[in-house]
A and B are shown apart, each in its own frame.
Chain A
Amino acid sequence: AQSVAQPEDQVNVAEGNPLTVKCTYSVSGNPYLFWYVQYPNRGLQFLLKYITGDNLVKGSYGFEAEFNKSQTSFHLKKPSALVSDSALYFCAVKEAAGNKLTFGGGTRVLVKP
C-alpha cells in the first residue's frame, strides 16, 4: 500500500525567509510525486511533480521540491516566502503503473509579514 506522511500540521515562517514543507512517502515501485496547494474556499492547484529525471523539480509560484530516493522524501521549498503563500499544502504519491493518488495529511503554512 502506498502512503504519504507530512509530519508538520503547521509551519510558521516570516515573510522573506526560506520555507520548507516536509513530505515522506512509501510506495512499491517507482513513485510519481506531486505537490498541491489549496487556498481558502478553493480547490486544489497543482504546484509541481516529479516523474523522472532531475531530482530537483521547479514548479509554479517559485516553489521547488527535491526528490530524495534514499530518504524517500520530497520536501517542498521556497527560498523567500510571501504572505500570499499562506495556504494548505498537500503532498501526494502514486505508483508509476497506477492511477490512485494518495495524499498526505496536509500542512498549513502561515507566512507572517
Chain B
Amino acid sequence: GAVVSQHPSRVICKSGTSVKIECRSLDFQATTMFWYRQFPKQSLMLMATSNEGSKATYEQGVEKDKFLINHASLTLSTLTVTSAHPEDSSFYICSATGRSEKLFFGSGTQLSVL
C-alpha cells in the first residue's frame, strides 16, 4: 500500500530555533498534503492544506509566518516551525492524498522545545 514517510520522528530543540519536518509520499503522487497538530489527550487539529505548486491554505488561528509550509513537488511537503517556543511542543502529523480517496498518514513528529 501507499506509504508516507515523515521525519524526523522526534526532535528536541532550543527555544528560538527553527525546525523543519519533512513529509514524503514514497510510491504515489500526493496532489494534496495536510498538516495536523495533536496536543496531549486531544484530537488532531488541521493546521493547513497544501496543494502542489501553490500556497498552503491555513486554518483559522494558525500563524502562517510561524508554520511555514512548502509543497514544491508531488512527493514532498515540509513544515518549518520558525522561532520555536515551548508552547509549540506537540505531535505533528502529515497526511497525503492522491487520485484515490484514501488518506495516508506519516508516522508523526514529536517536537519538544526547551
How many B residues face the partner with a CB closer than 8 A?
Answer: 21
A99 within 8 A of B: yes
Indicate whether A43 sits within 8 Å of B106 (C-beta atoms), given known contacts A101-B34, A105-B43.
yes
A100–B105 CB distance below 8 A = no
Query: Residues 24-53 of chain A: 1 if any B CB is under 8 Å from the residue's CB, otherwise 0?
Result: 000000001010100001111110010100
* Nearest CB in chain A to that of B32: its residue: A99
A49 partner residues in chain B, CB cutoff 8 A = 101-102
A46–B102 CB distance below 8 A = yes
- Interface of B, secondary structure class, is strand
B105–A44 CB distance below 8 A = yes
B46–A101 CB distance below 8 A = yes
Indicate whether A42 sits within 8 Å of B104 (C-beta atoms), given known contacts A90-B43, A101-B34, A106-B43.
no
B103 partner residues in chain A, CB cutoff 8 A = 34, 46, 101
- Per the bound structure, the CA–CA distance linking A43 and B108 in Å amounts to 5
Instruction: Pick the contact of B93: A44, A51, A104 (CB < 8 A).
Output: A44
Residue among A32, A34, A90, A100 with the most chain B CB within 10 A?
A: A100
> Nearest chain A CB to B95's CB is how many angstroms away?
8
B107–A42 CB distance below 8 A = yes
- Per the bound structure, the CA–CA distance linking A44 and B94 in Å amounts to 10
A103 within 8 A of B: yes
Q: CB within 8 Å of B: which residues of A?
A: 32, 34, 36, 41-46, 49, 51, 90, 99-106
Q: CB within 8 Å of A: which residues of B?
A: 6, 32, 34, 36, 42-44, 46, 49, 93, 95, 97, 101-108, 110
